[in-house]
Structure 1
Amino acid sequence: MATQIVKLRVWDIDYLDTEDEEPEAKRPRVETMSDEEEEEEEMNILKCKKIGSVMRKGRHRVVSMATDETGSVLACHGTDHILEVFSLPSTEELRKHLAKRQKRLNKKLKDEDAEVKADLKLEDEISHANNVKLSAKISSFDIILEGPAQTKVLALLNNNTIESCCVNQRDKNGEITNSQKLMMAGHRTDVRTICTSSDNTAILSGSGETVKIWNRSTLQCIRTMECDYALCSLFAPGDRIVIVGTKGGKLQLFDVASGVLLETIESHTSAVWGICMAPDKRGVVTGSADKTVKFWNFEMVSDEKYSDSSKRLSLEHVKTLQMDEDVLGVKYSPDQRYIAVALLDNTVKVFFTDTLKFFLSMYGHKLPVLCLDISSDSSLLITGSADRNVKIWGMDFGDCHKSIFAHDDSIMCLQFVAKTHLFFTGGKDGKIKQWDADNFEHITTLTAHHAEVWSLTVSSAGHFMVSGSHDKSLRLWERSKEPLVLEEEREMEREAEYEDSVAQSGEPVVAGETNIEVGLAGKKSIETVKGAEKIMEALELYKEETLKLEQHEEECKQKGKELPPPTPHPMLLAHNVSSPARFMLVMLKKVRSSELEESLLVLPFSYVIDMLKVLEVFIDSGWEIELSCRCLFFLLRVHHGQITSNQVLLPVIDRLRTKTVDQVNKLRDQIGFNIAGLQFMKGHIEESQEVQFFMDASGQYNKKKKREKKKAILSIKT
């Protein structure tokens, strides 16, 4: 097993002098250096020399380092909670330290005649002060020196918390003072359970470490209570107490007003995956991975810790229903006649509530059923499974009305809207979808979460919905008054699917898999298709406007007088251009350079013919020669066979052959003239202001190094 490097390496930097130049006459004549030797010469103006290493206390790789503004403190951290602080004494402090060391050394050697000069060690210049342990792993930090030995640390932790503290460099224990944290009110881990109060004013959310109560109207967190890993939850009658089922098999009762844990009940021996309140509000039922379904009644008990005069709510175990498989969810029917249990064996079993006798078994899923719900009229049951299907069942006979492929990954939560047969589903694909259980139609898709949706709840009146996700966020969705047209939703979905298919249809060119030396660098996307459509529309307008101008010239010739010009197209006026050719050039320049080839590749060949004629106009007029030649050469390379076999295009290609060479030569001459002018201006500036540009200084330094190397070679040969 490889060991991590636990030391900091220290380097000394020397800036090299490049002013010393050797006269031309004194340069020795040696053979020209090979290309390999010239490549070894580095264009550097500084020199780094390793002077030692400083040992660290941490055992992880260094992620980042920083110093304060004065350069008196150095700090670094790895992939853990520890921030290591080092002291960097000033020059005056080092001088005093060296004087004390020399004094001690002279005192020690006073009887001897030899004189020994004391030296500073690396440990004197960089000394380890202490280690600071923060509350979570460090993402980044900054430090400020507030006093002679007091350092203030501001760190961003990986749980989205900003922590500030003060560190005494002389305290070797690494104790921190004035520790403060700035954090948002949200969760630090996945939001696994959500429920609403009976009056829909409060929202409960539970995660791996806390349960939070939120005010729906202000969106503010009003209570935060530490708990075990929460998997399910509900508000008890009266909304004063919440019940949370945990991964360890416990039921935890919290008081909302005080935010205090009232009681922890060892209800199950494994994770509590489901909890549901009885419709008569007299108790709850829980389902666990220990293969049991337990029924609990509410009771009032005296608790001195809670109150001396009043009683609080508690749970009393009434009966247990033993199952053959792990229970993944439980649900009462609203009429309280049945209780449905989702099992690990991919089935849902329905029992009578009063006698617990078996009533129905619903099977058809290929993977375990993760969530279920029953409509408010107790006529339909819906199940969501890890096989990505939602099944709609009839409660009378247990027949499957419809199986819908709902999500691209496992369905983690679902719930009916009260007094309707509409329901919402949430899956690991990060989407929330609304469905109609009567018509088996998909209504809409909500895509705001960035990760798996673990839980959702719909208000009792159906006015809003809350969802929780692996992205540690809660999303509040409110029902709008705008009408929703299913045809428009389907059209938007088809457009999104088309964009995805277009983006995935083109594969990037892989080296060695094409017959040409250079291939297209990108994929075909919706942007390249839009670019091709833009070029085709511009070509159509160009042809129409050009034909209109030609007809106007013929009429002027026939009548022998100047006629008023035709009214230009509104697009020409909008782009403030005077001719169709100029408009065509503007539209071509609007296509992104990275998408130009792909857009031209999509063009049909009939448009390629018109495009070549337009490019001839551009090149003949001297407009954007580089862009025009790029388009021309690409079209010739792609459609070479069809162009050479087309008799109409042969004279066009012949004219382009000469015009392109002439225009490119003119452009090359112009660029060369500009470069020569810039070099002349550069020499004039250097001569008048007596300065040298950096690249020239580096080049002179490299020449100096080469001359020194040649001298060494000559001295060896002689």
Structure 2
Amino acid sequence: MKSFHCVHSLFSPRSSFDLHFDATSGDLRVFLILVTGQLEIVTLPAATAPNNWESAASVDIAIRNLGASHASDVRSVCFSSDSTALLSASAKSARLWNRSSQSCVRTLSCGYVLCSCFVPGDKHVILGTKEGKLELFELASGSLLQSEEAHGGAVWSLCLNPDKRGLVSGGADKAVKFWDFELLAQPGKTSRQLCLAESRCLLLDEDVLNVRLSPNGRLLSASLLDNTTKIFYTDTLKFFLSLYGHKLPVLCTDISSDSTLIVTGSADRNIKIWGLDFGDCHRSVFAHDDSVLDIQFVPQTHLFFSSGKDGTVKQWDADKFQLIQTLKGHLASVWAIAVSPCGGHVVSASHDGSLRLWHRTQEPLILEEEREAEREAEYDQSMVQGQAPVIPGETQTETGLAGRKTVETVHAAERLMEALEILREEQMEQEQREEERRLTAREPPAIPINPILQAHGNISAEKYVLEVLKKVKSSELDEALLVLPFSDVSTLLFSLGSLLDTRKDTELLIRASLFLLRIHFGQISSAQHLSSAVQKLKENTSNRVEEKRDVLGFNLAALRLLRHQLDERDEVRIFSAASDAVKEKLRKRKRKERALLTIT
């Protein structure tokens, strides 16, 4: 057999690969996905020496998984003003995508980006970094025009002014800064270059996590680390309102296009809808199963999208306070979302490494059907997890199991299955010993004791099963028995019938027997070999219950006797105390009479 090794140089480390053999041409193709998100195809012709490998194609995967070309999580996304371009930014790079073709147009080398926005005109972008810098890039050339030390900490949020003449930034240095766009003349050139110039600064008491300007340019909102959102007048920077009610920091905010509503999303998993007139909370909604990471209104509507750490993107109605639809597809936290200015597209960036593009269809959305689909999904999930759904109006006292399947119940079931396996092995060895004794008419050699049984004091296998049952918590017994396969249930039923003869732990054994009979009634009733076990359980259970009833009745009678004796003793004490009081009164009366006689 001839073997050889081939070496092929890749542009970057690979993430995964697959092999494909073309039967018609005899060529062998290797498909490699690189960490940069590129798909590289290497072809080995059938009649070519192994060292003549060649790279047939190298393409970017950008059809539905746009964010795959980023080496780290995409933390910020934004649309251009005409909704034709899309910017995604991560720890080391920012990429410009064509929305219609979903191809990467430009790659920008930058710092760790936390927020971004397009400059009016869509020829420049501004990136806010974790190092506290504002980086201004020109998209045509991909060059960095300006890197401004804006904040003393991370730049958490950027927001364009409604008049398109500047922007606002909020950072971890407890400051909100206003920046103006300026065109400066370049030496030796007739054209001017765009740059940023700081105009005003608002200092606050806590770190600024998010800033937003109302579309009418009248108000400025800043969410702080103290779980509140402060509203200021934009022109004078005077305090206007304080929105408080969240239990954890507010991570994201947005203001509607008519400047009447503001929505806040917090790490406490709630979304609150406020009115900007008086700062009153219209409704608080439990939105996600984990922290709410981003919120954005659909332009010219009161509909908004939210994303969370639970990996979902949800659309809400701020007027009716109800969930419209849930967009599922991500497998991890959704860091950022962006709604296109036309309102027809939404892009979401997730921790799973993907960048998903959603578009609005022409199909009508019926909320009743969406709720029905959600209820069916919840029902299917509950059936998969083995939980019986609660039926309204059901007359039974119990509609399902009291507990849930946990790691402890699984471990308890595994220990019980191991004990039953030891019991089966011992029974098989005992049967073989009896068969050998019957055939040879002599005593066979002793059976070696199982090491586990020997460690527990040379107890029998049935007693070991009882010991394992006793170690299971009472609240976890039903779930542990529910996990057992039917073969182990059959063995356990025979064992429970024998253990009831020992008259120990009767309550535990009867409870386990009744639960197994109720859960596996159909299979047990159709299995002929279990009829003897069920009959023995019936007899032993009845006898043990009668014995317990007799003991309980005897104990109750004894307690009643003791109570009667105590009551009699208390009555005697009462009567003796009354008689003593009467005697004392008679003695006092006689003393007074004697005193009068002596005086007279």
TM-score calculated relative to the size of structure 2: 0.60
SS in 2 for 1:194: strand
Instruction: Indicate yes or no: 2:369 matched with 1:488.
Output: yes
Instruction: Indicate yes or no: 2:122 matched with 1:219.
Output: no
2:77 to 194, 206, 221: 194
Map of 1:261 onto structure 2: 144
User: In structure 2, what residue type is equivalent to 1:319?
Assistant: R
SS in 2 for 1:501: helix
Instruction: Indicate yes or no: 2:112 matched with 1:229.
Output: yes
User: In structure 1, what residue type is equivalent to 2:386?
Assistant: S
CA positional deviation for 1:501: 2.2
Contact conserved, 2:78 with 2:116, CA < 8 A, in 1?
yes
CA positional deviation for 1:371: 0.4
1:430 to 311, 315, 327: 311
**Cα distance 1:446–1:133, how it changes in 2: closer, same or farther (>3 A)?**
closer
Listed one character per residue, the Cα deviations across residues 90-141 of structure 1 (whole Å, up to 9, x for unaligned) are xxxxxxxxxxxxxxxxxxxxxxxxxxxxxxxxxxxxxxxxxx9985588789
Give distance in 2, aligned partners of 1:284 and 1:642: 80
Contact conserved, 1:503 with 1:524, CA < 8 A, in 2?
no
SS in 1 for 2:371: helix
Instruction: Indicate yes or no: 2:343 matched with 1:462.
Output: yes
1:204 to 87, 100, 121: 87
Give distance in 2, aligned partners of 1:408 and 1:249: 31
Contact conserved, 1:231 with 1:273, CA < 8 A, in 2?
yes
CA positional deviation for 1:211: 1.0
User: In structure 1, what residue type is equivalent to 2:314?
Assistant: K
Map of 1:359 onto structure 2: 240
Give distance in 1, aligned partners of 2:300 and 2:138: 31
Contact conserved, 1:465 with 1:476, CA < 8 A, in 2?
yes
User: In structure 1, what residue type is equivalent to 2:236?
Assistant: T
CA positional deviation for 1:503: 2.5
Map of 1:4 onto structure 2: none
**Cα distance 1:514–1:459, how it changes in 2: closer, same or farther (>3 A)?**
same
Map of 1:511 onto structure 2: 414
Contact conserved, 1:268 with 1:290, CA < 8 A, in 2?
yes
**Cα distance 1:156–1:469, how it changes in 2: closer, same or farther (>3 A)?**
closer
Map of 1:406 onto structure 2: 287
Give distance in 1, aligned partners of 2:481 and 2:309: 28
CA positional deviation for 1:184: 3.9
Give distance in 2, aligned partners of 1:277 and 1:524: 59
CA positional deviation for 1:158: 4.9
CA positional deviation for 1:504: 2.6
Map of 2:358 onto structure 1: 477
Contact conserved, 1:505 with 1:524, CA < 8 A, in 2?
no
Give distance in 1, aligned partners of 2:203 and 2:176: 6
Show the 5 A alignment for 1:317-356: 317-356=198-237
SS in 2 for 1:316: strand
Show the 5 A alignment for 1:68-87: 70-71=3-4
Instruction: Indicate yes or no: 2:122 matched with 1:239.
Output: yes
User: In structure 2, what residue type is equivalent to 1:481?
Assistant: Q
1:388 to 266, 269, 279: 269
Map of 1:273 onto structure 2: 156
**Cα distance 1:133–1:472, how it changes in 2: closer, same or farther (>3 A)?**
closer
Listed one character per residue, the Cα deviations across residues 35-89 of structure 1 (whole Å, up to 9, x for unaligned) are xxxxxxxxxxxxxxxxxxxxxxxxxxxxxxxxx974468x9xxxxxxx9xxxxxx
Give distance in 1, aligned partners of 2:244 and 2:33: 50
Contact conserved, 1:332 with 1:338, CA < 8 A, in 2?
yes
Instruction: Indicate yes or no: 2:374 matched with 1:374.
Output: no
Give distance in 2, aligned partners of 1:634 and 1:422: 64
Taking every aligned residue pair, what percent have the same amino acid on both sides? Answer: 50
**Cα distance 1:72–1:436, how it changes in 2: closer, same or farther (>3 A)?**
closer
Structure 1's unaligned 5+ residue stretches are: 1-67, 76-82, 84-131, 143-152, 166-176, 526-599, 613-631, 645-718
Give distance in 2, aligned partners of 1:255 and 1:601: 75
User: In structure 1, what residue type is equivalent to 2:249?
Assistant: P
CA positional deviation for 1:308: 2.4
**Cα distance 1:360–1:512, how it changes in 2: closer, same or farther (>3 A)?**
same
Give distance in 1, aligned partners of 2:361 and 2:31: 44
Give distance in 2, aligned partners of 1:633 and 1:314: 88
Give distance in 1, aligned partners of 2:189 and 2:311: 48
SS in 1 for 2:415: coil
Show the 5 A alignment for 1:3-152: 70-71=3-4, 136=13
**Cα distance 1:215–1:397, how it changes in 2: closer, same or farther (>3 A)?**
same
User: In structure 2, what residue type is equivalent to 1:512?
Assistant: R
Two-structure CA RMSD over aligned residues (Å): 3.9
CA positional deviation for 1:484: 1.2
Give distance in 1, aligned partners of 2:193 and 2:532: 84
Give distance in 2, aligned partners of 1:188 and 1:637: 66
1:289 to 162, 172, 178: 172
**Cα distance 1:189–1:633, how it changes in 2: closer, same or farther (>3 A)?**
farther
Give distance in 2, aligned partners of 1:194 and 1:445: 20
Give distance in 1, aligned partners of 2:121 and 2:101: 21
**Cα distance 1:366–1:642, how it changes in 2: closer, same or farther (>3 A)?**
same
**Cα distance 1:521–1:258, how it changes in 2: closer, same or farther (>3 A)?**
same
Give distance in 1, aligned partners of 2:371 and 2:138: 46
Give distance in 2, aligned partners of 1:637 and 1:453: 59
CA positional deviation for 1:514: 6.6
Give distance in 2, aligned partners of 1:638 and 1:221: 71
Give distance in 1, aligned partners of 2:36 and 2:191: 40
Give distance in 2, aligned partners of 1:203 and 1:601: 62
Contact conserved, 1:288 with 1:326, CA < 8 A, in 2?
yes
Listed one character per residue, the Cα deviations across residues 209-268 of structure 1 (whole Å, up to 9, x for unaligned) are 111111111111111111111111111111111111111111111111222222111111
Give distance in 2, aligned partners of 1:261 and 1:440: 44
Map of 1:98 onto structure 2: none
Structure 2's unaligned 5+ residue stretches are: 20-29, 43-53, 63-68, 388-404, 425-477, 484-515, 540-600
Give distance in 1, aligned partners of 2:106 and 2:480: 51
Listed one character per residue, the Cα deviations across residues 459-480 of structure 1 (whole Å, up to 9, x for unaligned) are 1221111111112221111111
**Cα distance 1:155–1:464, how it changes in 2: closer, same or farther (>3 A)?**
closer
Give distance in 2, aligned partners of 1:442 and 1:641: 57
Instruction: Indicate yes or no: 2:272 matched with 1:415.
Output: no
Give distance in 2, aligned partners of 1:637 and 1:465: 66
Contact conserved, 2:221 with 2:229, CA < 8 A, in 1?
yes
Equivalences, count: 405
Map of 2:581 onto structure 1: none
CA positional deviation for 1:447: 0.5
Contact conserved, 1:351 with 1:359, CA < 8 A, in 2?
yes
Contact conserved, 1:374 with 1:380, CA < 8 A, in 2?
yes
Map of 1:562 onto structure 2: none
**Cα distance 1:602–1:425, how it changes in 2: closer, same or farther (>3 A)?**
farther
Map of 1:397 onto structure 2: 278
User: In structure 2, what residue type is equivalent to 1:476?
Assistant: L
Give distance in 2, aligned partners of 1:454 and 1:219: 20
CA positional deviation for 1:637: 9.4
Map of 2:437 onto structure 1: none
2:320 to 436, 439, 459: 439
